[in-house]
Structure 1
């Protein structure tokens, strides 16, 4: 598992494309779509096996829109959220005394006050959000963005002909922000994936979706750039100037053959509106994820077991290399690469018969390689080329996020002190900018109504101590909680590291 802990906080930020009842944060970014109206036994537009038609200015996109639009759907989600019913003032506010007289919560009112729950009164409310998606099979499989449906209690698919169907989640992948849904249907019109590697800068593209909740809409543009990365390990975005906005999240980006070459996910914007810089996750990434979600309900990525960095011109010169191709190995923890003889300082220049251009290229190729199989790896070591064979492991297992491991209480927890926690792995530690030998528990999610949220804990924080003792597993933390309760204490002192910086936080352990 790799959770996107880093976020865009700049004035010009990546804006979410989904529409919800709450303000959309700069880290979200999605698109919306519409769906089937007429039955079909094959993709609405079959892949063109002949040479690609010359990219010239078409007289109209109407024929293409008419062919593919029945497979584009709107996605409506409903979720229950808690909202404070009154104002909450910080300690020392001149309004504290005034509003205390009227019964509103203030920080000096007990955290256990039943009226306020320590956070002010909370009232459950239903929130609706909108997104897009597209049908990829006649029996009702639908692709969208994970952030469109994340946290939803109900998901309803609206097709172009007005029909509505309830959808279930087959699987999700936060790493690529992709979700696979399923509706109970047959003979739906659907579209297929194209080869995103064939898309050239300057090619025409068509985006379909439900921008700003206005209903079905089409926009066109060109491929502006290829291989863009935002915040994720597996990012491979196609940049386009086709107009996409909030509500387009999860919608398809078509080439002129009617093939999906991208899933509209994010925009770069100073105000949340389209300025002609949109990003669609490349279909070659999405297709592999969807295949695994459909087969297993989760991703199963290859794992090499190395820490790597880009080969800079200075590094290449110092090693006597002719170019900067390849990925330099900085560390080799226990794992497949170590077993095969890969060493720190090696430069991986070939993987499974493919030349490696840089570190991102290696990560992508390893992720898509079959686990449990031997793969040829070529490294440059001391100026000489060496051929090795590595039996790839599974990344999700190495990170402790595989479904068959999530039930193990020593690895993860559903709810401990209002948090979902996971044992820190070397891979996650590296992503958080921490030492690979750092031990502790990484915070995956925080209940917004918990004391942990009150004290400022958030996703990506790492708990290294509890009760002034090291914690290396969820069971360690639960033991410290039990010891503190047995000693009659009402809170437990935790050491939290965020960005490597430590601080102490005392959390309530009262039931």
Structure 2
């Protein structure tokens, strides 16, 4: 499945999702009262004392997490990476900051002796086996040319990349040696919302730091269709990526991965990859396996209640709406079209886009799946031969995927449904850089209808009744929705970011 894009009409909310990847400087690793690693070997099995519920705090908690931290901290490491800077800009090397660009300096000349500049970054990780395997985030080590690990006792070791999985943002690296202190993923018990957690890592390169909080939510669908994140309010900042999230007994229940923030700093919303996802992936990476997932080549999203109502579908309808079909991909070969709604896969109903993405990802490449789709209100069965999913970096950097919004240019047209629109023409196509494959009714004036903000260059391509090519088609769709006593008219709109379904509020009858 293609990585999902959020197609939005109007302003994007100010919050930014920031992967807590690297810190600018690198500072010596303090022990943080973790005690020396020397002489500590084997699996770390903390004993918080007292029996009870799976995640109930032992007697005395949460007065202090000191005993748990002291027992598990020796397994947590600081990771320093060196990466190549892909630029011909002139740089100066500043200790602790790596390569810093020189403003106004002429570009370097290519030559055999030219040496690409490098930059330093920092993250976190933890030993998962006594023989030196370390779990971290993919985005910490993905572009590294050199990886070094600092243990809690101050020892520094060179590490090598064993394997990584972009889709879940997990990676495994290894240092040479034996008898390292290590911790284990908790496989049996599932943390509940409200259970205590401790996040340990290397924020801003400061080294062994512990923060505490609770599980705030489960199954958050943030940036990966393959991970239902644990949301925690223990402070996570840049450099915490890849560190462990412990429960009150010192068991690893997650891998710190990202934050949701306006500033890039912690605001109490952090995300951890749950152990149920991290353990099977890291086990396979440790065995040297490559993580392969099924792929059909569609961009999908969920329909809102308003959009479902505008289509005249039942209120409990579920499925995944197709907004993009990759040229030459398996889905195109199998007959999938934009505006299809996938309702079943292999006879099992599709709940939403995440459900469909994960189920296709579990299919072995080369196998054939059967998709039931709703097209123009009629059911249709399609057979698709699944391929291997390309790397996320390839999927996220397709030509033309990230385009700037067209300039706001007032244009001529007729007013329909609160919008000024005009049939597609060569002039409009050139003005708004509309691809040749896109046809429909062009919005020529910036308008706000309900909560939807339209910009010149958006193209209305379809309604529930079929293609929209003229103002008359648009008016007919509005009239049909009004006759059906619907609150809105279902439309498919193309923007520079792709197709999106909308429910346009019906204008008042004149």
TM range (shorter): 0.5 to 0.7
Per-residue CA deviations over 1:69-119 (Å, capped at 9, x if unaligned) read 232111122346574359654xxxxxxxxxxxxxxx57xxxx7xxxx549x
Q: Paired residue for 1:161?
A: 153
- Which of these residues, 13, 17, 21, is aligned with residue 20 of structure 2? 17
For the structure 1 residues 232 and 184, does the alpha-carbon distance in structure 2 shift closer, same or farther, using more than 3 Å as the test?
A: same
Aligned-partner SS, 1:153:
strand
Q: Distance in 1 between matches of 2:78 and 2:206?
A: 10
Change (3 A) 1:387 1:292: farther
Distance 2:396 2:20 in 1: 33
| Match of residue 359 from structure 1 | 353
Q: Residue 34 of structure 1 contacts residue 159 of structure 1 at CA under 8 Å; is this kept in 2? A: no
Q: Bigger CA drift: 143-152 or 217-226?
A: 143-152
Q: Which residue, 65, 68, 76 being the options, matches 1:64?
A: 68
Which 10-residue stretch deviates more, 10-19 or 207-216?
A: 10-19
Deviations 1:22-71 (A, max 9, x none): 79xxxxxxxxx99976665556469xx99624468545433432443232
Cα displacement (A) at 1:304: 3.4
1:371 aligns with 2:328: no
Residues 141 and 435 of structure 1: CA distance in aligned 2, closer, same or farther (over 3 Å): farther
Using the alignment, how far apart are the partners of 2:18 and 2:390 within structure 1?
Answer: 28
Residue 200 of structure 2 is matched in structure 1 by 208
Structure exhibiting the larger radius of gyration computed from Cα positions: 2
Confirm whether residue 170 of structure 1 aligns to residue 162 of structure 2. Answer: yes
C-alpha contact (below 8 Å) 2:198/2:213 kept by paired residues = yes
Task: State the match for 2:292 in structure 1.
Answer: 300
Deviation, 1:185, is: 2.4
- 1:247 and 1:34 map into 2 onto residues whose CA distance is 21
For the residue of structure 2 that corresponds to 1:218, the secondary structure is strand
Shift of 1:278: 1.9
8 A Cα contact 1:311 1:324, kept in partner: no
Residues 327-338 of structure 1 aligned to structure 2 (within 5 Å): 327-330=320-323, 336=330
The 3-state SS of whatever aligns with 1:365 is helix
Residue 234 of structure 1: how far off its partner (Å)? 4.3
More helix by share: 1
1:134 CA displacement? 1.2
What CA distance in whole angstroms lies between the structure 2 residues aligned with 1:202 and 1:243? 16
2:183 to 175, 182, 191: 191
CA contact (8 A) 1:224 1:238 kept: yes
How high is the TM-score relative to the length of structure 1? 0.59
Residue 392 of structure 2 is aligned to residue 394 of structure 1: no
**1:221-240 equivalences in 2 (<5 Å):** 221-234=213-226, 236-240=228-232
1:94-113 equivalent positions in 2, closer than 5 A: none
> 2: CA distance between counterparts of 1:315 and 1:36?
58
Change (3 A) 1:183 1:437: farther
2: CA distance, partners of 1:265 / 1:337: 32
1:136 deviates by 1.9
Say if 1:22 and 1:73 are closer, same or farther in 2 by CA, change over 3 A: closer
Query: Compared with structure 1, are the counterparts of its residues 323 and 66 closer, same or farther at alpha carbon in structure 2 (3 Å cutoff)?
Result: same
Give the Å deviation of 1:264.
1.5
8 Å CA contact 1:41–1:187 kept in 2: the answer is: yes
For residues 53 and 190 of structure 2, the distance between their equivalents in structure 1, rounded to whole angstroms, comes to 11
Q: Take 1:208 and 1:50, find their aligned partners in 2: how far apart are those partners?
A: 25
Distance 1:196 1:427 in 2: 38
Please list every run of 5 or more consecutive structure 1 residues that lacks an aligned counterpart in the other structure.
Answer: 24-32, 90-104, 402-421, 439-497, 502-511
CA drift at 1:10: 7.8
Counterpart residue number, 1:258: 250
Structure 1 residues 79 and 34: alpha-carbon distance in aligned structure 2, compared to 1, 3 A threshold = farther
Pairwise CA RMSD: 4.8
1:374 to 1:326, Cα distance in 2 relative to 1, 3 A: same
Partner residue in 2 for 1:52: 54
Closer, same or farther in 2 for the Cα pair 1:345/1:274, shift >3 Å?
closer
Alpha-carbon displacement from aligned partner over 1:226-261 (angstroms, at most 9, x marks no partner)? 343444554533222102222212111123353333
**1:91-490 mapped onto 2 (5 Å cutoff):** 117=109, 127-194=119-186, 198-234=190-226, 236-296=228-288, 298-317=290-309, 318-330=311-323, 336=330, 347-351=341-345, 356-373=350-367, 392-396=386-390, 428=398, 432=402
Rounded Cα–Cα distance in structure 2 between residues aligned with 1:198 and 1:335: 38
**Cα-to-partner distance string for 1:144-197 (whole Å, 9 max, x where unaligned):** 123323433321112223333211012233444332211222333323334699
Q: Is the 8 A contact 2:136 2:255 kept in 1?
A: yes
Secondary structure of residue in 1 paired with 2:204? helix
CA distance in 2 between partners of 1:55 and 1:163 (Å): 33
Contact 1:429 1:435 in 2 (8 A): no
* 8 Å Cα contact 1:38-1:189 kept in structure 2: no
TM-score, scaled relative to structure 2: 0.59
Give distance in 2, aligned partners of 1:34 and 1:74.
15
Asked if the contact 2:90/2:102 (under 8 Å) is kept, the reply is no
- Distance in 2, matches of 1:143 and 1:34, equals 21
Which residue of structure 2 lines up, in the alignment, with residue 84 of structure 1?
A: 91
Specify whether residues 209 and 379 from structure 1 end up closer, same or farther in structure 2 by C-alpha distance, changes over 3 A only. Answer: same
2 CA distance for matches of 1:51 and 1:142? 30
* Corresponding residue to 1:74 among 78, 91, 95: 78
| Residues matched between the structures, number | 380
Distance 2:313 2:84 in 1: 60
> Which residue of 1 is the match for residue 477 of structure 2?
none
- Structure 1 pair 429/259, CA: closer, same or farther in 2 (3 Å)? farther
| Superposed displacement of residue 395, structure 1 | 1.1
